[in-house]
């Protein structure tokens, strides 16, 4: 929880047994640290998602695969939420308009829509195990951490929700974003229903739903998902997200997700999971190299249109 500048330690790299280290993120309201180090920038910017490859020759048990996907999918989601905060604050204050008047803001809204789709793909990836394996290997770990463990304790998603609240404009890219948000809710509900057929969350079962999370609960959520907070530069952030995307793509190349939800739109989307992850590198590059990679909350360079 230090806010001192840190350098991402080596253990973040993929190690032979396929485990990965802690995720380092700034607090959602904190900007990335300035970084003029060319070698830092170059080593990250030049990286492209390589062809998928197998990470391990040993076949994981269903339980290990489920747990690894839960953790890896959440890490990648946290990175995507940070990007979403950037995109949403970059396009904040954009009212209704002619589609041709603000191409920069429209592009950012389109990126936000694509990022929501990446998050939807990550939900399907994280939650691709059977309900039985989920009940045996994933849920009990959260219960052991806290009986009311909940996604509402995520400080990064909390920020996404705050930034989504101002109305999304009704121009074409705004409508696309709205559709992606709606589809994301549908995916989340479908995942919840499939893995927990009675649909109840731990938070609801514990009778604590409705109260806002405390800092202690937010810290617990971070700790459970092996996420540590520190000041890092944008290249260190991007590098971690790309590392995890590579791991997900390698995993999917060996163990494709075969779950079906019995809904055409969802099953079609699921058949294209890898395509969404492959887009992430370019989306990140485009969003973060516009010189806007600062504090999402303070960075409002697009003033409201009259």
Task: Please state the φ and ψ torsions of residue 281, each to the nearest 5 degrees.
Answer: -60, -45
**Judged by CB under 6 A, does residue 126 bind ligand HEM?**
yes
CA separation for the pair 28, 117 (Å, rounded): 21
**Judged by CB under 5 A, does residue 35 bind Zn ion?**
yes
Helix (H, G, I), strand (E, B) or coil at 227: strand
Terminal Cα-to-Cα distance of the chain (whole angstroms): 42
Neighbouring CB atoms inside 10 A of 288's CB total 20
Site residues for Zn ion, 154-173, by CB under 5 A, read 169, 171
With CA atoms as reference, report the closest residue to 160 among 98, 206, 118, 100: 118
4-12, 45-53, 202-210, 257-265 -> range binding ligand HEM (CB under 6 A): 202-210
What is the distance of C-alpha 113 from the center of its chain? 13
**Judged by CB under 5 A, does residue 233 bind Zn ion?**
yes
**Judged by CB under 5 A, does residue 97 bind Zn ion?**
yes
Return the sign of the alpha-carbon dihedral for residues 281, 286, 287, 291: positive
For ligand HEM, the nearest residue by Cβ is 151
CB of 208 vs ligand HEM, minimal distance in Å: 9
Do residues 117 and 178 make contact, with C-beta atoms less than 8 angstroms apart? no
**Judged by CB under 5 A, does residue 176 bind Zn ion?**
no
40-48, 68-76, 180-188, 248-256 -> range binding Zn ion (CB under 5 A): 40-48
With CA atoms as reference, report the closest residue to 229 among 123, 282, 154: 154
CA separation for the pair 24, 21 (Å, rounded): 9
24: which strand partners? 228
**Judged by CB under 6 A, does residue 150 bind ligand HEM?**
yes
Q: Write the interaction track for ligand HEM spanning residues 174-193; mark x where CB under 6 A is met and - where it is not.
A: --------------x--xx-
The single residue among 21, 66, 71, 77 that binds ligand HEM, judged by CB under 6 A, is 77
| Contact partner at residue 209 from Zn ion, ligand HEM, none, CB < 5 to 8 Å by partner kind | ligand HEM
CA separation for the pair 140, 142 (Å, rounded): 5
CB of 273 vs ligand HEM, minimal distance in Å: 13
Query: Which residue's CB is nearer to ligand HEM, number 204 or number 260?
Result: 204
| Contact partner at residue 97 from Zn ion, ligand HEM, none, CB < 5 to 8 Å by partner kind | Zn ion
Helix (H, G, I), strand (E, B) or coil at 66: helix
Give me 225's structure tokens: 């998902």
DSSP 8-class letter at 56: -
| Cα Rg, the chain, nearest whole Å | 19
**Judged by CB under 6 A, does residue 196 bind ligand HEM?**
yes
CB of 118 vs ligand HEM, minimal distance in Å: 12
Query: Which residue's CB is nearer to ligand HEM, number 191 or number 241?
Result: 191
Helix axes 215-224, 155-164, angle to 10 degrees: 120
Q: Write the interaction track for ligand HEM spanning residues 23-62; mark x where CB under 6 A is met and - where it is not.
A: ----------------------------------------
Query: Which residue's CB is nearer to ligand HEM, number 48 or number 182?
Result: 182
Site residues (vs ligand HEM, CB under 6 A): 74, 77, 123, 126-127, 150-152, 154, 157, 161, 188, 191-192, 195-196, 201, 203-204, 209
Site residues (vs Zn ion, CB under 5 A): 35, 40, 97, 169, 171, 233, 235
């Amino acid at each position: 929880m230090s806010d001192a500048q840190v350098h991402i330690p080596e253990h973040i790299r993929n190690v032979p047994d396929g485990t990965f280290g802690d995720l380092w993120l700034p607090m959602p309201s904190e900007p990335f640290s300035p970084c003029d180090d060319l070698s830092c920038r170059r080593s990250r910017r030049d990286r492209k998602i390589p062809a998928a490859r197998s990470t391990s020759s040993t076949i994981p048990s269903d339980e290990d695969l489920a747990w690894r996907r839960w953790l890896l999918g959440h890490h990648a989601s946290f990175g995507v939420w940070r990007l979403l905060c950037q995109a949403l604050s970059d396009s904040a204050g954009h009212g209704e308009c002619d589609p041709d008047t603000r191409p920069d803001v429209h592009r950012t809204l389109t990126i936000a829509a694509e990022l929501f789709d990446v998050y939807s793909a990550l939900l399907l990836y994280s939650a691709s195990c059977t309900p039985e394996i989920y009940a045996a290997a994933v849920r009990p770990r959260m219960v052991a951490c806290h009986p009311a463990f909940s996604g509402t304790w995520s400080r990064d998603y909390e920020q996404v929700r705050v930034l989504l609240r101002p109305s999304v404009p009704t121009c074409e890219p705004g409508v696309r974003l709205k559709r992606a948000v709606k589809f994301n809710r549908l995916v989340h509900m479908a995942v919840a229903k499939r893995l927990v057929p009675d649909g109840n969350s731990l938070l609801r079962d514990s009778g604590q739903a409705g109260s806002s999370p405390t800092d202690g609960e937010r810290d617990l959520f971070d700790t459970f998902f092996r996420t540590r907070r520190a000041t890092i530069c944008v290249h260190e952030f991007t590098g971690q997200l790309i590392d995890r995307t590579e791991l997900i793509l390698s995993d999917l190349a060996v163990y494709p997700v075969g779950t079906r939800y019995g809904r055409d739109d969802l099953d079609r989307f699921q058949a294209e999971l890898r395509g969404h992850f492959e887009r992430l590198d370019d989306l990140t590059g485009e969003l973060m190299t516009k010189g806007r990679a600062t504090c999402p909350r303070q960075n409002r360079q697009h003033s409201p249109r009259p």
